[in-house]
Amino acid sequence: MSAPSAGNEQPWQFLLVSEKSLLEAFPTFHPFANMVPEAPLAIVVCGDLRLEKVPGNWVIDCSAAVENLLIAAQSLGLGAVWSGLYPEEERVRKTQELLELPEKVIPLAIVPVGHPAEQKPPARRFDASRVHHNRFQEK
């Protein structure tokens, strides 16, 4: 909830899901969420369109919140994964049904949180060709 948001609109809602039957439902409609039932907790980050002041910005605001959440989990020695829901229509609809979300509360991502089974070194993806000074240059 400390994330920046357009006009400070803070359009997020966070659902903390710990019921096993709910966690187990996600892989039935989300092909890349098999890890969700293995975690004790998953946080579903949603945008509440009723709270939006600057139309079109809820995805950006809530994405900033998801990233903060991932960094916070890592800093606590936990593991977390951004698992996308929006804009996949079926994932959004099934999540809304499962968690009884109001129509205007759109699930952006489900983030399972747990104790990591393995430790990986940080990714090294810096690519100087993607950095441009003053004007865009094809490299």
Residues that bind ligand FMN (CB under 6 A): 32-33, 81-84, 123
Nearer to ligand FMN, 127 or 138 (CB): 127
Nearer to ligand FMN, 29 or 82 (CB): 82
Report, in Å, the least distance between residue 123 CB and ligand FMN: 4
> What one-letter code names the amino acid at 57?
N
> What one-letter code names the amino acid at 39?
A
Backbone angles phi, psi at 29, to 5 degrees: -130, 0
Q: Determine the 3-state secondary structure of 54 from DSSP.
A: coil
Residues 22/99, Cβ–Cβ less than 8 Å: yes
Report, in Å, the least distance between residue 43 CB and ligand FMN: 14
Residue nearest to ligand FMN (CB): 84
